[in-house]
Amino acid sequence: MSEGRLIVVSNRIPTEAAPSGGLVVALHDALKERGGVWIGNSGKRVDAEETAKGLTRIAETPYERYSFDLTEEEHQGFYLGYANATLWPLFHHRTDLLAVDPDQARIYREVNERVAGLIAEVVQPGDAIWVHDYHFLPLAEALRRRGVRNRIGFFLHIPFPNPSDLPALSERKLMPGWLSAFDLIGLQTRRDVSNALDFLRDSGAEILLNGRLKMGDRRFEVASFPIGIDVDGFIQAAEENADAGEHLRLSPGERLVLGVDRLDYSKGLPQRFAAFGEYLSHRPDPQIRATLLQIAPPSREDVEAYREIRQELETITGRVNGEMAELDWTPIRYIRRNIGREILAGLYRRADACLVTPLADGMNLVAKEFVAAQDGADPGVLILSHFAGAAEQMEAALMVNPYDPGETARAIEQALSMPLHERQARHLSLMQSIREADIGWWTRTYLAALQKPLASPGN
């Protein structure tokens, strides 16, 4: 089969001429090497008549980039509503926060239908289509109805929901058709694959001898492709910004514990703050000073659950600092805005420990970025939740149950008192794991699997 172009579809599309960020750069390089098209939401809100204009070409690159716009109603129903108030909590095992709204579900499907129509206008025979994330679960099915027979792959960057949670989704009976319309469903972890296979089997899918699945006349595959980072790029950024920690004005001997997360209920931030407070209360020497620097830029602040977690974090921060602070020491520094990638790399390098303690996460690249940024001669220690997708690859981290503040507090103490030889050995193991499966490996491996020919009907 001749290799055609690559068509990437994502919710948002980078508009700058030279994209930055690991995933964006990897997709940029794949498109540049193979030729193709990147299609995504511009972020603009327009009148309904303007959406009829179709795709808009943006920045000139070695491949084509096109954006589409949303109306305010579509933004509310498709993005804020169904994608982030229904699918996001469901996929992160928070069915208690799931919003059930038939109008939002309808708008979600309508946007996918419209995007499918736009893709159908540009796709050519031999092209491979790579769809990213939960915003576009019905997209392949909509394309198949339009007669598109190209290879269509899907990658889910967040966890796949537990089969026991899926009955909470009103559209659960549509999900098997959405998934089986893809040729390859890429998930982050083996745990995600197990959940997806359980759900699909319960929905009537047949597991074939060659490892593929059959549902109706569709044959497709579900596999794990843990996403990585640009290791060398992050090492360089950390080395070039090694003085970033000086801006913190830490006192001599003061230890730095770092957290970097979007402000989201899946990240376990209240539990993390409580655990750090418990560490401070029980540290063996009260004269030891450790500061938790938590960087948590906001996301989706117009969703009620996010306003609530913001208030909860501010309350815990005030309580811990009120009880523990000294005139020249603030135990928790909480920054609720974006910090540039280069400065972050330098802060990773300065940190004595990094807390990556989500309650549910697809992968969590902060864990990998922290490891890459370390000075191998004197590395910091990664404290990692069992529920982060990265836990399957990064077994040399200190693993914790984020729901248990005492366990996390003890891990902080262990990290800050760990002897150099143990820190070096753990770091060496972690570096090997992130190098073996970096972002280039992820892109190549997924696209190679997507290009495999379909199994014959008799298999």
pLDDT confidence tier of residue 17, bands split at 50, 70 and 90? low
Percentage of the chain lying above the pLDDT 90 cut: 81
Nearest to 316 by CA among 255, 272, 256: 272
Confidence band (pLDDT; 50, 70, 90) for 455?
A: very low
pLDDT value at residue 456: 39
Instruction: Give the mean pLDDT of 221-235.
Output: 95
Instruction: Give strand pairing partners of 380.
Output: none
- Band the pLDDT of 300: cuts 50, 70, 90: low
Q: How many CB atoms lie within 10 A of CB 386?
A: 13
**Angle at CA of residue 10, ends 8 and 389, nearest 5°:** 105
Q: Is the pLDDT of residue 275 over 90?
A: yes
pLDDT at 302: 63
pLDDT tens-place string over residues 356-371: 999 999 999 999 999 9
Lowest average pLDDT, out of 58-62, 111-115, 344-348, 447-451, goes to: 58-62
User: pLDDT at residue 26 above 90?
Assistant: no
Proportion of the chain above pLDDT 70, given as a percent: 95
Q: Is the pLDDT at 103 greater than 90, yes or no? A: yes
So what's the pLDDT on residue 266?
94
Spatial neighbors of 320 by CB under 8 A, at least 6 apart, are 273, 276, 277, 280, 331, 332
Asked if pLDDT for residue 23 goes beyond 70, the answer is yes
Average pLDDT of 17-35?
Answer: 73
Helix (H) or strand (E) holding 36, with range, is strand 36-45
What does the pLDDT average to over 90-117? 96
Bigger pLDDT: 387 vs 305? 387
Identify which has the larger pLDDT, 198 or 4: 198
Report the distance separating Cα 225 and Cα 155, nearest Å: 9
Q: Does residue 308 carry a pLDDT above 80?
A: yes
Which whole number is the average pLDDT over 438-447?
94
Q: What's the rounded Cα separation, in Å, for the pair 344 and 340?
A: 6
Active-site annotation holds for 361: yes
Q: Is the pLDDT of residue 264 over 80?
A: yes
DSSP 437-455: T-HHHHHHHHHHHHHSPPP
pLDDT for the residue 16? 65
Q: What is the pLDDT of residue 34?
A: 83
Q: Which residues on adjacent β-strands are paired with residue 291?
A: 256
H or E element, residue 314:
helix 304-324
- Choose the catalytic residue: 92, 361, 427, 438: 361
Identify the residue whose tokens are 């960020």: 21
- The residues with which 7 forms a beta bridge, in sequence order, are 37, 129
Q: What is the pLDDT of residue 223?
A: 96
pLDDT in tens, 368-386: 999 999 999 999 999 999 9
Q: Of 92, 135, 157, 427, which residue is the catalytic one?
A: 157
Q: Is the pLDDT of residue 457 over 70?
A: no
Token digits for 425?
């050995």
Rounded to two decimals, the pTM is: 0.93
CA-CA-CA-CA torsion for 447, 448, 449, 453, nearest 10 degrees? 110
